[in-house]
Amino acid sequence: MLLMALVFGLATRMPGWLAALIVGGILLAIGAIVGYVSWTRRVTTPLALTRKTLKEALQWAKERLA
């Protein structure tokens, strides 16, 4: 609702389609920046402790079933 209020507020100074386009462009830019930052901070390799625990659990399961 605040974004619509912003568009309506800008529409008093410029055409409504231009106000909506400006607000949409700003939101798209913010979304792209947040997406890029999130992509660069993602975990690229699994945690070593988790990998070790899974290997131990798999080995235990193999021994129990054999």
pTM: 0.65
Q: Total structural domains in the chain?
A: 1
Encode pLDDT of 6-60 as tens digits.
999 999 999 999 999 999 999 999 999 999 999 999 888 778 888 899 999 999 9
Instruction: Show the domain range for 46.
Output: 2-65
Give the type of residue at 14.
Answer: M
Helical pair 2-11 and 16-40, crossing angle rounded to 10 deg: 140
| Residues listed for the chain | 66
- Output the pLDDT for position 55: 94
Q: In whole angstroms, give the CA distance from residue 66 to residue 58.
A: 12
